[in-house]
Structure 1
């Protein structure tokens, strides 16, 4: 590769403001040309038009405001331990007291709801999920009081709101479109599945958030890596602006990538919520190395794939796997510091000379993990709201988190108050079609902008098919819902058309997408009562049951 000129001395040039300036030397021009090739003409961010820079922050914040209103309004309703809140909320209170899970007496929920926590016992409790999500629930309880249902749902609502902002930001990074960024944020903000998961104190919304945060960190790392590649190739260019054959063979080493380290931290925290984040570690690790290979290829590196494997992959492994593993291990600090947590002293009671070189605490934790893994893979108990992954995307069997029939207050003879984790049908049914289209588009064009969220969907969805006999629930899909929305928005972007399309084509696309978004908002408004436990008539509740499997 060579610069546009071989001249060794700086040249006089004519800039866009029509003033004579000193043109950059050849090496600087090499870096500038490579940066434009790798990242586009509007790099860095300060070169964006002023309106675009404002929208870059305003759209995530605006959609987060909408999301916050929908998630925090009447968050304490109902004052009950809903579904798995009966486990995780009481575990979170136990964390505040001792740093690990402890057992509760018989039927402690009525007393717990009244602010009486005397049912907490001194003996340790056996649990099968890591600590991070329960610590996050405990944070809200610490702020607002453990007896307050708003308090034990506060962190879920906050994290759900932040997830909407991150999704809009990720859409801006992927598509460089304010319209599509706003669309992504709006769709996630008003979707019922995400709303319900953000309004109850269970773990999955925290898993979804940390996975999304890792994805956003990798988007930043992709830019950072390409800037580094351009800058270092520029420094390696000769005085005439040419790159040597040796440099073009494999390119430079890019050093420690701090955004990728941040992604490793987020993935470690995701694993600290639920182990289902493990598939994302593999998918995102592979994704970031493929991005490096693509960058080297675009820059003109001849052995681009080998260079990515040799020069980029080892540090990527350390940044994501090693850092993530260390962070995950640190999330068990409360267990390590305890004297009587479950299995805390298993190794001392079961000595093994072959493993005596491993600290007893680590051997005990390893045994704990083996027992928990056996539980997860062997969980086959029947449940009325168990749902096969085949039905998740079309909302075939959403989970009923809460249903009671109040005696009065709805204006009818029979009342209903429900929380059903059904997503907005227009988002999920349309998104399922968009997913099929996006897979075909990616197979034909290898567009990284859709390949990235497709990797997130694959990591969060496909592994569940490996355990067909396990008891599963549709709300597990919240782990990949932001990526599902990004794929839907990518296809909506194709409907909107390109700037060079004829005006009638752009107007038709804008009209179609606009009508779709209006209908989405209308449908969400219609379903809001069964997402937020409003007291409505039984007939009204039945009218919301669009499919027999929702009942």
Structure 2
């Protein structure tokens, strides 16, 4: 990596601090249970205290229970519904890891809006740091890495999800972390291959590349993504294929005659272990509370413990698989209409965001009519600029086969394309915030495009100055656009007329 090592860390850290200020300032505002927080904050509390979600939270979507929580009353969380329904098993439709993470914040800071939003804000900040570092690695430029982190800091949808206790910010975090690990692994593997090429007798397929800890780390991260939401499996499969293709490309780059056979023969088994077995184990470990407790849905504890240790293991796994089949049936049949649902084709255009929160408070805002809102929408300048950058990446990849352009476009498509299948086949209920996993790769596309616009270090100074001016102007526009939307992203109390002015389309209202 060229450049100053100190600034290679200090620059991204400063950008992450800026993003942290945006995310942690007044994190407890609004003092309300926002959108689907009503489910996850109570499930998280139950996981921390019981190891499994409990039907004591049959009040999960009950406004009365939400008001009790906001007043500091948590007594109902330990009461079954109905009272004699012990051990209170509760059916839930998502794996537990994201809720475990939310629960850590609740355990540290209490069962209040700040406590249940803390973990989301923290991983939001960490994702800014990771993106800045991975962009620096991909571009070999600290400045461009910091640009990527800055754009994610002021991306509206990322900000909103970082400030709410929903699962999608955790899914995005683990997906991005897995991608970053694979990019580092790519560099390390190519370095090993070059060392072999320079010091060993040549053959047609090349060597095995030994232990690859960064690929193992990627497997852990992507297994964790699946343990937050099942849609992480799309990235797990896609990134495994991508990593294998990178290995074949590296073998071809050093001139081996059979690079693809070498990749399949020498790299396929390690890929299956790192990106298959390890994620599966990671996913299963996230269910440790369910395996260890008699209180989980479908656990059949008495049956499992009736015939010795071997039968306990067999029956526990059988019950666990049965539970997953129930969840699969739920997801494939989820087609209940919702006023804020949207089709995946509309997500890049930000046509139908989700109103996470809206009230007309009685507090003064300078007029008789006030509004307080949290609108789950992206920063339009970044999203529309990102569309142009993604198109540029497609052209760049076709023209040059640059791996960075291909990786960014492929990762964006992995996060987007599967939802079209569900839209067509199942008419599934979907929302704009599902696109949060696409957002880091959209910003990487913008960053790579910015590098092309600025030009190489050996380009003419006037050329670079003009390019830097264009990139700087775009960044300034993004900052202005974000600042304009900020009040309706973080629930500031503003005049209703000001809220209305910030609705870019009528479909936003």
Task: Please classify the TM superposition score into its range, dividing by the shorter chain length.
Answer: over 0.9
The residue aligned with 2:144 is 180
CA apart distance, 1:358: 7.5
Which residue of 130, 133, 138 corresponds with 2:98? 133
Q: For the residues of structure 2 that align with 1:109 and 1:124, how far apart are their CA atoms?
A: 21
Q: Which structure has the larger Rg over C-alpha atoms?
A: 1
The residue aligned with 2:172 is 208
Please say if residues 347 and 364 of structure 1, whose CA atoms lie closer than 8 Å, have aligned partners that are also in contact: no
The residue aligned with 1:109 is 66
Q: For the residues of structure 2 that align with 1:55 and 1:378, how far apart are their CA atoms?
A: 50
The residue aligned with 1:512 is 470
Q: Does 1:472 align with 2:430?
A: yes
The residue aligned with 2:125 is 161
What TM-score comes out, normalization by structure 2 length? 0.93
Q: How does 1:531-546 map to 2 (within 5 A)?
A: 531-546=489-504
Q: How does 1:96-495 map to 2 (within 5 A)?
A: 96-103=48-55, 104-106=57-59, 107=62, 108-120=65-77, 121=80, 122=86, 123-146=88-111, 148-236=112-200, 243=201, 247-345=202-300, 348=303, 359-468=314-423, 469-495=427-453
The residue aligned with 1:86 is 38
Please say if residues 134 and 180 of structure 2, whose CA atoms lie closer than 8 Å, have aligned partners that are also in contact: yes
The residue aligned with 2:83 is none
Structure 2 unpaired stretches of 5+: 81-85
CA deviation profile, 1:216-251 (whole Å, cap 9, x unmatched): 111111112122222334442xxxxxx3xxx32111
Please say if residues 416 and 536 of structure 1, whose CA atoms lie closer than 8 Å, have aligned partners that are also in contact: yes
CA deviation profile, 1:469-495 (whole Å, cap 9, x unmatched): 100000011112111110111112222
Q: For the residues of structure 1 that align with 2:261 and 2:268, how far apart are their CA atoms?
A: 10
Partner-residue secondary structure (3-state), 1:300? coil
CA deviation profile, 1:240-272 (whole Å, cap 9, x unmatched): xxx3xxx32111111121110110000111100
Q: For the residues of structure 2 that align with 1:365 and 1:467, how far apart are their CA atoms?
A: 25
Please say if residues 160 and 205 of structure 1, whose CA atoms lie closer than 8 Å, have aligned partners that are also in contact: yes
Q: How many equivalent residue pairs? A: 489
CA 1:375–1:346: 2 relative to 1, 3 Å: farther
CA apart distance, 1:347: 11
CA deviation profile, 1:295-325 (whole Å, cap 9, x unmatched): 1111221111100011011111111111000
Please say if residues 347 and 360 of structure 1, whose CA atoms lie closer than 8 Å, have aligned partners that are also in contact: no
Q: For the residues of structure 1 that align with 2:282 and 2:401, how far apart are their CA atoms?
A: 33
Q: For the residues of structure 1 that align with 2:480 and 2:134, how far apart are their CA atoms?
A: 25
Q: For the residues of structure 2 that align with 1:496 and 1:466, how far apart are their CA atoms?
A: 38
CA apart distance, 1:501: 2.8
Q: For the residues of structure 1 that align with 2:142 and 2:220, how far apart are their CA atoms?
A: 29
CA apart distance, 1:116: 1.5
CA apart distance, 1:144: 0.6
Divergent runs of 4+, >3 A? 232-235, 346-349
What TM-score comes out, normalization by structure 1 length? 0.86
Q: For the residues of structure 1 that align with 2:186 and 2:410, how far apart are their CA atoms?
A: 15
Please say if residues 157 and 378 of structure 2, whose CA atoms lie closer than 8 Å, have aligned partners that are also in contact: yes
The residue aligned with 2:6 is 54
CA apart distance, 1:502: 2.6
